[in-house]
Amino acid sequence: MAVAELTTPTWTKQGLGSSHLSYLSARTSSCRRLSFRPLRRTHSSRISCSVNQTAQAPAAVETEVPKSNKPDCFGVFCLTYDLKAEEETKSWKKLINVAVSGAAGMISNHLLFKLASGQVFGPDQPIALKLLGSERSFQALEGVAMELEDSLFPLLREVQISIDPYEVFQDVEWALLIGAKPRGPGMERAGLLDINGQIFAEQGKALNAVASRNVKVIVVGNPCNTNALICLKNAPDIPAKNFHALTRLDENRAKCQLALKAGVFYDKVSNVTIWGNHSTTQVPDFLNAKINGLPVKEVITDHKWLEEEFTEKVQKRGGVLIQKWGRSSAASTAVSIVDAIKSLVTPTPEGDWFSSGVYTDGNPYGIAEGIVFSMPCRSKGDGDYELVKDVIFDDYLLKRITKTEAELLAEKRCVAHLIGGGVAYCDLPEDTMLPGEM
């Protein structure tokens, strides 16, 4: 995944018409006509912080840049993207703004084209993409924007690229936070939590300052549960319920393994829950899951396989993929992000549910409050969700839920300095390395 380095920019967003795609860039390019205007303010986003320090709020910096006139349109958009007069646009919905961090990375390379094509929000939903990259990935980000331009998506009305989250998150209704630093050789997990935590603390502040008050946030960058917690704690004006940590890929992996074992296609598998952390302590729940409407344990009678091989396969699937392919999952992660969004914007099928890492305050399961924990959810298709109450537990399931809960509580203590909890104290029970951290 691309590292979400955040540095002070030298430009700001332009007013854009809805009939053409525009690129906003802080650099000159031989094949782009670019425009600039003075900034009212920008934000320094480099924060230096260790696990025993308290993060400081970003300082405002005044920056002046030259003015120039922005052309009304350029290239193909002058000829083919002025669709105002066409009949089909009369039935289109209001434009939505979607931000993606780590936008030059492999996951985004799969995801962005699904978003732009209408596969995610629907064939009548015009979209503006706000792409956040880093200083070192900016040229690649320009290449991504060029590919989006060359794809001629009628629904894609605007593309903005920046290295400043305060620019990218302006008025967004969805924020897909993919960019994070991978764990390097010799790095302790506590160090990864601190480094990535600083990124997500800054992004939480930016969302709080400029995003829509009802923005939906999906955190993908690992460790995603605790990064989501940091982000929401730094965005107090946005409902905590609006923040999600991506565990849908784990759910999809669990459905695949159950389908293979039962000899059915995956669409016959339902009611699968991933409980807890996106780590090797996660709990794929086969007790409540169903195959062809029947409890999994009635269809798959090899209960030892369920408790041992199935659980371990799901927990370690990402690591095995890295060993086979030499890189972490990208396409399947992008698909799972799409699935996670669709689960919130379309009604959940009757009797089914989906997994998402959400804030635990008020949960009906007795799980500790104040953490982001993957649990079963249902949605009416309005972007919101409710926790499922009609689930059952046994000693096996409860024991494993307790273990993943303890890990998330330990991670919370490790990032206390980033969530207003005072001095951090790292006592992680074990190093449950996430797939893709190395």
The Cβ of residue 384 has, within 10 Å, a number of other Cβ atoms equal to 14
d(CA 384, CA 274): 19
d(CA 166, CA 161): 12
Which region holds residue 394: left if phi is over 0, alpha if psi is between -120 and 50, else beta? Answer: beta
Taking Cα atoms as reference points, which of 250, 176, 190 lies closest to residue 223?
190
Measuring CA to CA, how many Å separate 264 from each of 256, 267, 287, 348? 10, 8, 18, 22
3-state secondary structure the chain: CCCCCCCCCCCCCCCCCCCCCCCCCCCCCCCCCCCCCCCCCEECCCCCCCCCCCCCCCCEECCCCCCCCCCCCCCCHHHHCCCCCCHHHHHCCCCEEEEEECCCCHHHHHHHHHHHHCCCCCCCCCEEEEEECCCCCHHHHHHHHHHHHHCCCCCEEEEEEECCHHHHCCCCCEEEECCCCCCCCCCCHHHHHHHHHHHHHHHHHHHHHHCCCCCEEEECCCCHHHHHHHHHHCCCCCCHHHEEECCHHHHHHHHHHHHHHHCCCHHHEECCEEEECCCCCCEEECCCCEECCEEHHHHCCCHHHHHHHHHHHHHHHHHHHHHHHCCCCCHHHHHHHHHHHHHHHCCCCCCCCEEEEEECCCCCCCCCCCCEEEEEEECCCCCCCEECCCCCCCHHHHHHHHHHHHHHHHHHHHCHHHCCCCCCCCCCCCCCCCCCCC
d(CA 409, CA 404): 9
Pick the catalytic residue from 244, 278, 303, 417: 278
Does the active-site annotation cover 278? yes
Active site residues: 278
